[in-house]
Amino acid sequence: MRQSLPVRAVDHHLACCTAACAVLVALGVGREQTSQPSAEPQGWQIVCELQDARIKEASGLAASRLNPECYYVHNDSGDAARVFLVDRTGRTRVEIRLLGVMAADCEDVALTPAVGSGIWDVCLADIGDNNARRPYVAIYRFAEVDARSTAGPVVEVKPQVYLLRYEDGPADAEAFCVDPKSGDGYVLTKSLSGRSAVYRLRAPWQAGQIMTVPRHCTLELPQAPYGSRIITGADVSPDGRRLALRCWVDGWEWVLPEGMPFESIFSVRPRRVSLPAEPQPEAVCYSADGHTLLTVSEGLNPTLYETPVAERPSP
């Protein structure tokens, strides 16, 4: 998403992570107070660099369930309606083009359970709205593509389109995730204050109409450096017990206590997670086994990072 905020504009043109960090620190983003939660060191590592020159503004990331060690990634606004399936060498396995769709501002991608055991759909979230003016936003949903059986480097799919209207009016958002147990979707708005609206799209979703989506709750992130409270991506672990958010600086993770339904996870206090410094961080996902978080930034040939996340005892 392109916008005119000073930090954002600077970040978009930074050539490397070191420069990005220097700018953020200079603006006070990296200054912590003793009362603020520090990020837990995670020991991230580089997986690869994405080789496809068409991937220039990676904005969403999701681990495939059908294609081992492969990930769905897509560009920010300005690109066609398409998703790339990439592997851990950085190679694009297939480009998936969405037919009949005019994308406005795609900001995240997620997996959701389909009809049938072990079957998953891909959801491309066209939810960006810098000026909070769109009368409705959209989710484009299609079945996972099996890269092992495709006849060529491009696959065309006809997605199911779901149109959403927030009950309290337009809002800007960059984060979308799905509870893998219920199939409920969640949109988390982008806020500079650390207070984000969470909207819940209950399953089964209704196509052919504009669905009014209620506000599930207001999420107040703990006090932390400025950039650590601006949400740019989200994902739910495959077991449905953890929620991860990516922010301009680092991220957050919630762990659901045993016996509690997923919709209660926003009432649990999160821990701040140390994630790699990236030029323009907007994408995060859990690995298919749930043991790590993967992140990637906007920019040409971006680096795919992997960060282990240790399971914590239930509170």
Here the tokens at position 108 are 């995240």
Tell me what the mean pLDDT of segment 46-62 comes to: 97
> What is the percentage of the chain residues whose pLDDT exceeds 90?
80
Structure confidence at residue 41 (pLDDT): 64
Where on the phi/psi map is residue 81: left (φ > 0), alpha (ψ -120 to 50), or beta?
beta
75 pLDDT higher than 50: yes
- Please report, in angstroms and rounded to a whole number, the separation of the first and last CA atoms in the chain: 36
Structure confidence at residue 138 (pLDDT): 98
- Enumerate the domain spans of the chain: 6-27+37-308
172 pLDDT higher than 70: yes
b/e string for 231-270 if b means 16 or more Cβ within 10 A? bbbbbbbbebbbbbbbbbbbbbbbbbeeeeebbebbeeeb
With cut-offs at 50, 70 and 90, classify the pLDDT of residue 293: very high
Decide: 182 and 203 in contact? Cβ < 8 Å. yes
With cut-offs at 50, 70 and 90, classify the pLDDT of residue 20: very low
265 pLDDT higher than 80: yes
Structure confidence at residue 312 (pLDDT): 52
Is 76 in a helix, a strand, or coil? coil
Q: Of the CATH numbers 3.40.1710, 1.25.60, 2.120.10, 1.10.10, which one belongs to the domain with range 6-27+37-308?
A: 2.120.10
Structure confidence at residue 38 (pLDDT): 66
Is 255 in a helix, a strand, or coil? strand
HSE-CB at 28 with a 13 A cutoff on CA atoms is 3
With cut-offs at 50, 70 and 90, classify the pLDDT of residue 224: very high
pLDDT tens across 180-190, in order?
Answer: 999 999 999 99
